[in-house]
Structure 1
Amino acid sequence: MKNSNKILSTTLAALFLSTSALIPSTYSAYAQETHAGEAGEHGEEGVVEMNATEREKNGVITAKLTRQTLGSEVAAPGEIALNQYKTSYVTSRIAGQISKRHARLGQHVKRGAPLVTLTSVELAGAQGEAIVAHQEWQRVKALGTDIVAKRRYVEAEIAAQLSQAKIAAFGMTPKAVDRLLASGDASKATGIFTLYSGQSGTVMKDSFVIGELIEPGRVLFEITDESTAWVNVKVSSDDAEGIEVGASVRIKTGSGYKETDWKLGKVLQLGHQIDESTRTFSVRVEMDNKGDNLHAGQFVTAFLQTGNAQDVLAAPADAITFMQGQNIVFVLEGDKFLPTPV
């Protein structure tokens, strides 16, 4: 739904367990701490008196008002997802058998770190062919075109290049290829190769066991950079009209009572198709996730900015209480909570 309040939520809830006669005996409210005169005029009617010890005992929490750039907002449910633009799969291009694991689920790896070692009969055969082709090319090159026909010279060169490209494409690193060819030893054609990480990040998936036979294209590792995450937000067609790419988004990850429950993000992409089951549009939000505090699959609430933003003195929306026909917040002055219209 759209939040009609220009004063929006950033702080914590407080429960008054004892109040004046004009307020119910159990009354949920918020308290805002500010200096006298900042919040305007207020009288003594509805005043709640409570010292610091009593406030702590009753769980009353206060916070200072601050100026914030705010606009109209749309509140909608969302789900944390991996940033697919910073996620990669590690797969084998040939059939093989897993012989050694170098990384585990949840481990942070650097770009170029070894992940898994495999053996492949197909690679062993290709390695042997590469050694033979390399040696033949060295022999023909040494003889030169004065002795060897031009056609034979070119064929030997191309055969050597193709055999090297083949074993590199199968998963051997350039350094491993060079060592194999330099050795000239067919016994080195063991078919052993290691897959390495193409990026720095966290291992999100490693679904295999040692000794398992795997087919080409099988995903062995999923690695993602968790410094940023996506939030897939579902909004109604009416609410989606005012949302633009780049718009600010506040994301509530918990109860909203703590500062750490709130994250900032921005609209990354807007969907162009209505979901058939929910009849909603998908809005993709990108948010900062340094510290890896949020994880894929976690549900959140997103507050997406619509329209033009304004610089205002802001109080949390949850701090606003409707009492005696008007919206009020409780302002702390000394040990008194003074109801102040907003």
Structure 2
Amino acid sequence: MKKGYKYTVTSLIIVLLLGLLGYRIQKVLVKQKDLPKSSPVQTVQVMDVGKVKKENSIDLYGSIEAINKVSVSSKLSGRVSKVAVENGQFVDAGETLVVLEDQDYQAALTNSQNILSKAQLRLSDVQKDFEQYERLLAGGALPQHDLDKAKLAVEVAQADLNSAQVGVDNAQLSTKETVIIAPMAGVVAYRSVNSGQMVSPGVPLMTLEDVSSVYATVNVKQIDLPQVKEGMVVQVMPSDDDKQVLAGEVSLISPVANQAARVFEARVKVVNKGGILKPGMFVKTRISLGSPADVLAIPVYALSGKEDAYNVYIAEGNQARQRPVEIGVTMGEQIEIKSGLQLGEKVIVTNINKLKDQDKIAIVAQ
């Protein structure tokens, strides 16, 4: 009995000791959990905020439209036999665009020509009668009223002949107009007609756009409006790479703002050498306002954030400090900094997506 009691006491002591040990271990773990975790040191590269030459200019964006364009329609009703052109195709003036079925118009022409032939024969006959009556009247063998009747018959026959000739002319014109031709040289756009389709007079079939000279229609912000004048020389670029540049001139500035966007529409006239600019194409235009100026700039890839909320990371000792900045124009791989940085400050240019404000950093050479 004493031996069993001894074992029980020993077991209780062991359990208590194990419980106490577990409690202390748990307490230590909780304390460690509550301790602030130290951020890992980020390895970064930096560049000094420097100055670059910025063109003193305004960049405006817009689209191309033809200066001269004409809507092509049929003057007749009929079924389309052939469409000879496609959208985007260049055509010369007088080139065939659409052909209508002409059987009915050819039949009408033949009928008009038959009527004209009969009218010509009728006029010839009554003229002969009139001439004979004149001779008879001169010899006293015919009364005057018979000659008057013959003269009236000639006048009626002449009127019938004139009417028949008009009918032939109209039928010939209609037959000719079954072939619709280009009224000017240009590029085919907005073609809406197909073979087999019925067409009506005046309904647009396509548009022809003369692209030898075009307008770049751009929007000018109110803040830039005082600097943009009619007659200014403009560089026009079909893309942002500035490799293809055409010369243009501001030809018109609207005196009224677009009520929705609060911008003023301006038209830049461009001689379209080589047909580089196409109607509907998006373009960049640049208006020079004077000599280039020195501005603060950093690499574009040093920026983080989003539009209207951009920031950068500055290296201050062994810490990364986040700094909001106001940006300007992009110049190649550099971007203008209007505010937020000072010349010579060290901007972090690598691993910025892994950084937070006040993170520890280690700067390495590039």
Task: Mark yes or no: TM-score above 0.5.
Answer: yes
Q: Tell me, what secondary structure is at the counterpart of 1:127?
A: helix
| Structure 1 residue 238 displacement after superposition | 5.1
Alignment of 1:153-172 (within 5 A): 153-161=158-166, 163-165=168-170, 167-168=172-173, 170=174, 172=176
Tell me what 1:75 maps to.
59
> Alignment partner of 2:273: what SS?
coil
Q: 2:189 aligns with which of 204, 217, 222?
A: 204
Q: CA deviation at 1:211?
A: 0.9
Between the aligned partners of 1:236 and 1:129, the Cα distance in structure 2 is: 66
Q: Which amino acid aligns with 2:179?
A: T
CA contact (8 A) 2:48 2:343 kept: no
| TM-score, length-scaled by structure 2 | 0.53
* Aligned 8 A contact 2:248 2:270 in 1: yes
Mapped pair 1:100 → 2:82: yes
Aligned residue pairs total 238
Rounded Cα–Cα distance in structure 2 between residues aligned with 1:160 and 1:203: 37
Distance 1:221 1:171, change over 3 A: farther
CA distance in 2, matches of 1:157, 1:167: 15
The residue that corresponds to 2:215 in the other structure is 230
Q: Which amino acid aligns with 1:278?
A: A
CA distance in 2, matches of 1:76, 1:227: 22
* TM-score, length-scaled by structure 1: 0.56
> Aligned-pair distance for 1:266?
1.0
Residues 29 and 204 (structure 1), Cα distance of their counterparts in 2 relative to 1, 3 Å cut:
farther
Shift of the alpha carbon at 1:107?
2.4
Higher helix share: 2
Alpha-carbon spacing, 1:158–1:236, altered in 2? closer, same or farther (3 Å): farther
Q: Is the counterpart of residue 298 in structure 1 residue 320 in structure 2?
A: no
Q: Is the 8 A contact 2:60 2:220 kept in 1?
A: yes
Show the counterpart of 1:113: 95
Q: CA deviation at 1:236?
A: 3.1
Query: Would the aligned equivalents of 2:49 and 2:342 in 1 still touch at CA under 8 Å?
Result: no
* Contact kept in structure 2, 1:137 and 1:160, CA below 8 Å: no
Contact 1:109 1:203 in 2 (8 A): yes
Distance 1:150 1:236, change over 3 A: same
Structure 1 residue ranges without an equivalent (≥5):
1-22, 33-69, 174-192, 327-342
Amino acid at match of 2:243: E
With over 3 angstroms needed to count, the CA separation of the structure-2 counterparts of 1:245 and 1:205, relative to structure 1, is same
Asked whether the equivalents of residues 243 and 305 of structure 1 are also in contact (C-alpha less than 8 Å), the reply is no
Q: Which whole-Å deviations, capped at 9, do the CAs of 1:69-105 have from their partners, x for residues lacking one?
A: x9x754332111222x2x2222111211111222223
Gaps of 5+ in 2: 1-44, 131-152, 296-328, 345-366
Task: Provide closer, same or farther for how the CA distance between residues 294 and 141 of structure 1 changes in structure 2, counting only shifts above 3 A.
Answer: same
Q: Quick one: percent identity of the two aligned structures? A: 19
Shift of 1:172: 1.2
Aligned counterparts of 1:230 and 1:271: Cα–Cα separation in 2: 14
- Identify which range, 95-104 or 120-129, moves more after superposition: 120-129
Question: What is the distance in 2 between the residues matched to 1:304 and 1:92?
Answer: 44
Inter-partner Cα distance in structure 1 for 2:184 and 2:126: 44
1:150–1:294 CA distance, 2 compared to 1 (3 A):
same
SS at match of 2:270: strand
AA partner of residue 75 (structure 1): D
Q: Identify the range of structure 1 (158-167 vs 227-236) with the bigger mean alpha-carbon deviation.
A: 158-167
Which of 261, 269, 275 is residue 258 of structure 2 equivalent to? 275
RMSD between aligned residues = 3.9
Shift of 1:136: 4.2
Match of 2:154 in 1: 149
What CA deviation, in whole Å up to 9, does each residue of 1:221-279 have, x standing for no partner?
322222222111111345334544332112233223x431x322112223243322112
Higher relative contact order (CA 8 A, sep 6+): 1
SS in 1 for 2:121: helix
Superposed displacement of residue 142, structure 1: 4.4
Alignment partners' CA distance in 2, 1:283 and 1:213: 41
Change (3 A) 1:153 1:245: farther
Q: Which residue number in structure 1 is paired with residue 324 of structure 2?
A: none
SS at match of 2:64: strand
**C-alpha contact (below 8 Å) 1:95/1:120 kept by paired residues:** no
Asked if 2 retains the 8 angstrom alpha-carbon contact of 1:171 and 1:195, the reply is: no
CA contact (8 A) 1:94 1:120 kept: no
Match of 1:89, SS?
strand
Higher Cα Rg, which structure: 2
Distance 1:237 1:126 in 2: 63
Q: Which residue of 2 aligns with 1:250?
A: 235
